[in-house]
Amino acid sequence: MVTVNLWSSLERFTGGQTAVEIEAETVAGVLDGLKAAYPGLAPILDTGVSVVIDGEVATGRHASVADAGEVFLMQRMKGG
């Protein structure tokens, strides 16, 4: 299990929780697990988010979260 920290406005989809546990070994597993456990998150996750693992932005869906100390889901920055 990995604990995923969410930004505060997502708590309406997770029953008020800003940190949830998901069974996953990769970024893809985290995102898929979040969608399965909290279907209301799917549209937000599908538009694009960043996953930060131990302070580093994950560069792909296959990045490992298995030994992660901290996993944060963050809004993807847009603009220029």
Average pLDDT over residues 11-35: 96
As a whole number of angstroms, the distance between CA 53 and CA 48 comes to 16
What is the number of other CB atoms lying within 10 angstroms of the CB of residue 42? 14
Number of domains in the chain: 1
As a whole number of angstroms, the distance between CA 42 and CA 25 comes to 19
Number of H helices, E strands in the chain: 2, 5
Q: Is the pLDDT of residue 79 over 70?
A: no
Higher pLDDT, 54 or 76: 54
As a whole number of angstroms, the distance between CA 45 and CA 72 comes to 13
Does residue 71 sit in helix, strand or coil? strand
> Is 42 part of a structural domain of the chain?
yes
Predicted TM-score (pTM) of this structure: 0.91
> Is 27 part of a structural domain of the chain?
yes
How high does pLDDT run on average in the chain?
93
Listed in sequence order, the residues at least 6 apart from 75 whose beta carbon sits closer than 8 Å to its beta carbon are 7, 49, 50
Read off the CATH number of the domain in which 36 is found.
3.10.20.30
For 46-65, write each residue's pLDDT tens digit: 999 999 999 999 999 999 99
